Structure 1
Amino acid sequence: VEMIRALRIARGSATKAKTQAINAIKALVVMAPEEVREQLRELPSVKLVGTCARFRASRIVDPISAVKASLKSLAVRHRALDAEIRELEDQLDDLTSATDPLLRSRFGVGPDTAAALLLAAGDNPARLRSEAAFSMLCGSSPVPASSGQTKRHRLNRGGDRQANSALHRIVMVRLRWHETTQAYMRKRLAEGKSKREVVRCLKRYVAREIYGVLMVRSERR
């Protein structure tokens, strides 16, 4: 699990740096001389980076050459970070598959979501007394918010937010591609539930499913 944590930290750092690089490129385009701005401002991000990376790094003799040199530097950095992120994601893919192949086999569980859930559970998932405890850990357990005759629950803002985000992404994937999940959504909407309420229910169900998978790994150790 600590190996997964290290890779996720490196990936997160590279992702932030990549975002900073593209934001800096776009900011430079806005303040660039008209000649450069006209060439770049309508380009989507991928083409923008590619175009900037092809600029010639000639001597800096005027504002245009200075901006082009800066844009080229940022674009080259962006591409290098993109390659680094892909390599780290491949390593995470291999490591999470080796650590818990059953977890990775669940519908909608990719390398990053598996990593977040494995880190939330830790090296000893058996310490979690029940699936309710795991759900609380992930911030997917319902919080009562009833008033009078109205019985309802609200969003739980506690718990491990990265694990909660992982559950949310799994639910979103299943809502798009998983027929049983889609049918559940239609059923609960017909009963008068809001989409947000149904998503919270689904996250709770996914947490229960993931807990069972993690316990299988714990028993095999």
Structure 2
Amino acid sequence: MSDPEVQEQRVVVGVDTHADIHHVAVVTEYGKPIADQAFLTTAAGYREALRFITGFGEVLQIGMEGTGTYGAALTKVLQGEGMIVIEVDRPDRQHRRLKGKTDPLDAYRAAQSVIAGRSTAVPKAKDGPVECLRVLRAVRVPAMKSRSAAINQIKGLLISAPEVLRSEYQGMPTATMIGVMARSRPSGHQADPSYVTARVLKALAVRYQHLSEEIDEATAQLKDILESYAPMLQELTGVGTDVASQLLVTLGDNQDRVRNEAQFAALAGVAPVPASSGKTSRHRLSRGGDRQANCALHHIVLVRMNIDPRTKEYVAQRTEEGKSKREIMRCLKRYVAREVYRQITNPVPAPAIADLRPLRHELGVTLQEAAGSLGEWPSTLSRLERGRTRNDHLLLRYRGWLHDHNTGAEALTDSAVDALQV
């Protein structure tokens, strides 16, 4: 093939990534195989792969498996050259059983998947604050699991421990018990069960303390990043540090890769899946998407079902319509995904609350009086005044009631002044 023909040719590339070797396959824009070759996962190997990829003509797109793991480094190199990299999912098991599996076959399949339009996902950039959140969560989440395992081990050992140890720690709160165990100095013989159990309990308590410090440090760093990168996300009801960081990690640094709220819902595994048949018309839960993001949305829904008046009203309404709790939570997850996506891409600050409590005190109104007039619990208004919960509808009602009360008080004062003048 002459050079002019090579330059006029348009190709699509597929890459099968591994820890030590990446296999690259090149096909024409119509899917005809041209060549394939393996390259080492080193800087020199990436340069050779780049020369190989660009040696057959204009590169339209590059389909790659594992852009966030084994292929992360090569993805950055290719994107740095202005090439379009598409994330390709692993072929399903049935297709692999029918067609076989080798590295060259997987590379060609990646390229053909891009041509067929089955793969369209843009890889995460991993070059900004969201990547820092992901790394911190990679430390914090296992530490939390290990801490839970440590306290469960402690309580399990205490159940069958000798009476002397059980009576010593019986009735103590967890924090107090951990501190006492960590400061203890067991003494005895290696063949004495009480002594060995006390030593193990001390070791587990020290582990629990170290893990708590590690978790607190990671949490503080997560909060610092969130306050500078997405401070308004945590203003949504039910969204805390853990939930906000996970949702941002799912979306990635390059938020434009998810173009609308429907794509975000599918990415988080909350897009409704049709499950109709015959006269039955219904939707079911999605089992795809990022399950950690789905768990974060599930947490938001659980919190709102307990404290959010709007959500409570919605649950009561759908329950009367005959919906099950599972179906109601599926719908709520979809609504929450829409709200979260809009808050991330177009953040809206929460309404100001600093004037509520001073105005109430100025009017001499108690929480009980205000709550009775609004039909709410005093604790609900207290959390609203302190910014512990967000309820824009109740906030507008509460502020309107306070201003009406203030207007009424001013009118009474003016009437009293006029009466005195007469």
Normalised by the length of structure 2, the TM-score is: 0.48
Q: Which runs of 5+ in 1 are unaligned?
A: none
What residue in structure 1 maps to residue 151 of structure 2?
Answer: 22
**Identity in percent:** 49
Shift of 1:181: 1.3
Of 342, 345, 349, which residue of structure 2 is paired with 1:212?
A: 342
Shift of 1:180: 1.1
What residue in structure 2 maps to residue 57 of structure 1?
Answer: 186
Secondary structure at the counterpart of residue 115 of structure 1: helix
Of 120, 139, 144, which residue of structure 2 is paired with 1:10?
A: 139
Higher Cα Rg, which structure: 2
Secondary structure at the counterpart of residue 213 of structure 2: helix
Secondary structure at the counterpart of residue 101 of structure 1: coil
Question: How far, CA to CA, are the matches of 1:175 and 1:27 in structure 2?
Answer: 33
Shift of 1:54: 3.9
Question: How far, CA to CA, are the matches of 2:164 and 2:277 in structure 1?
Answer: 62
Paired letter, 1:176: N
Taking a change above 3 Å as real, the CA distance of residues 151 and 190 of structure 1, as seen in their structure-2 partners, is: same
Secondary structure at the counterpart of residue 232 of structure 2: helix
- Contact kept in structure 2, 1:107 and 1:174, CA below 8 Å: yes
User: In the alignment, is residue 131 of structure 1 matched against residue 266 of structure 2?
Assistant: no
What residue in structure 2 maps to residue 101 of structure 1?
Answer: 231
How do 1:45-194 residues align onto structure 2 when only pairs under 5 Å count? 45-58=174-187, 60-61=189-190, 62-194=192-324
- Contact kept in structure 2, 1:15 and 1:81, CA below 8 Å: yes
Paired letter, 1:3: C
Question: How far, CA to CA, are the matches of 2:341 and 2:145 in structure 1?
Answer: 30
Shift of 1:7: 1.0
Question: How far, CA to CA, are the matches of 1:8 and 1:163 in structure 2?
Answer: 13
- Contact kept in structure 2, 1:30 and 1:41, CA below 8 Å: no
Structure 1 range deviating more: 114-123 or 206-215: 206-215
Structure 1 range deviating more: 53-62 or 121-130: 53-62
Question: How far, CA to CA, are the matches of 2:172 and 2:185 in structure 1?
Answer: 19
- Contact kept in structure 2, 1:167 and 1:206, CA below 8 Å: yes
Normalised by the length of structure 1, the TM-score is: 0.88
Question: How far, CA to CA, are the matches of 1:46 and 1:150 in structure 2?
Answer: 53
The number of aligned residues is 217
Question: How far, CA to CA, are the matches of 2:189 and 2:209 in structure 1?
Answer: 23
Shift of 1:49: 2.7
Question: How far, CA to CA, are the matches of 1:206 and 1:124 in structure 2?
Answer: 21
Q: Which runs of 5+ in 2 are unaligned?
A: 1-129, 348-422
Shift of 1:207: 0.6
Question: How far, CA to CA, are the matches of 1:22 and 1:67 in structure 2?
Answer: 15
CA RMSD of superposed structures (Å): 2.1
- Contact kept in structure 2, 1:143 and 1:154, CA below 8 Å: yes
Paired letter, 1:157: R
Paired letter, 1:29: L
